[in-house]
Structure 1
Amino acid sequence: MSEKHLVCQGAICSCKFGSAPDKLTVLTQSKRYINDKDGSQKLLATHMDIGKTFEKNLFGSCAKLNNAPCQVVVTKWSGFYEKITLQDNSGKALLEDSKATCPIGAPDCISIINHGQIMEASAQNVENAEKEVLMELFPFADLHQYIRKTDMLDAKN
């Protein structure tokens, strides 16, 4: 089984009957963050995020409504991760291949284009990195101050 990413606030979703994507908004819990070093932006999305749970609640024009504006309302999610249940909302974590159902569209007509997680380096990542690797990755950066600082720490230990 290949590795699948958990979905978070800001994930990009689309409907196979819509003409534009929209961003997922987590409204059912406010404590569980992922992929967010400050714990302030990337709430974990769950199968309980139903209803009007998108930033614009609009996937452009809807082919099922003769190209009238989409009126997305999620009635249920499928393909979520059964092994994680949040205490806050009894929700199961959404995965990047989870699908949602809209009553106007069809079962599983909404899919996740991008899970919403982004790679973000923190100071701890830099501190834990090997000096030689940092020098290879950032050949023009002045890392001597960082290297001297870590060398002094290593010498003390």
Structure 2
Amino acid sequence: MKDEYVVNRAICQCMFGTMPGFLKVTDNQTVCMNGKLVATDKTLGNVFEGVGFAQCNKSYPPKPCTPVVTGWIGAYDGVSINGISSPLLGTCKGTCALGCPNCITFQTTGQIAIPGVPQVKQAALCLQADINPLGGNPLED
């Protein structure tokens, strides 16, 4: 993951949050990779879908998370996106205005789709045992 570019819907984690969050690319609307917008060092502000990281444990009592990314470290300087920004890598760390420096990390880069319930339901019956080996093979029933 360290050499992968980060794209839209990458899974992030904040050290003060109670749940992972999905990155929402807002600055770059033209450059895509594997059909998804590339995240850059200018992907700043509240750039997470929904409730961010659920609850923020930085304050007492914990409050709903409203992340505000103020910067990223570790962006790849060898490539320029739209002439003004650099793409983020899976090893980049983000700083939240409410947290501390480098408190946001990536769990996935978003390049590989993670199947959810709808995708599993649509999978062919012969593949279901490969997806969930403990569920048994529906063709043997």
Q: Is 2:82 aligned against 1:83? A: no
What is aligned with 1:122?
A: none
SS at match of 1:82: coil
TM-score normalized by the length of structure 2: 0.75
The alignment yields a C-alpha RMSD, in angstroms, of: 1.6
Report runs of 4+ in structure 1 exceeding 3 Å deviation. none
Cα deviation digits, residues 31-75 of structure 1 (max 9, x gap): 111012xxxxx1010000000111125211111122111110000
Q: How does 1:1-150 map to 2 (within 5 A)?
A: 4-36=3-35, 42-66=36-60, 67-87=62-82, 90-118=84-112
In structure 2, runs of 5+ residues without a counterpart are: 114-141
Matches of 2:64 and 2:15, distance apart in 1: 14
SS at match of 1:64: coil
Identity among equivalent positions (%) equals 37
TM-score normalized by the length of structure 1: 0.67
The question of whether the paired residues in 2 share the 8 Å contact of 1:12 and 1:21 is answered with yes
Matches of 1:12 and 1:93, distance apart in 2: 16
In structure 1, runs of 5+ residues without a counterpart are: 37-41, 120-157
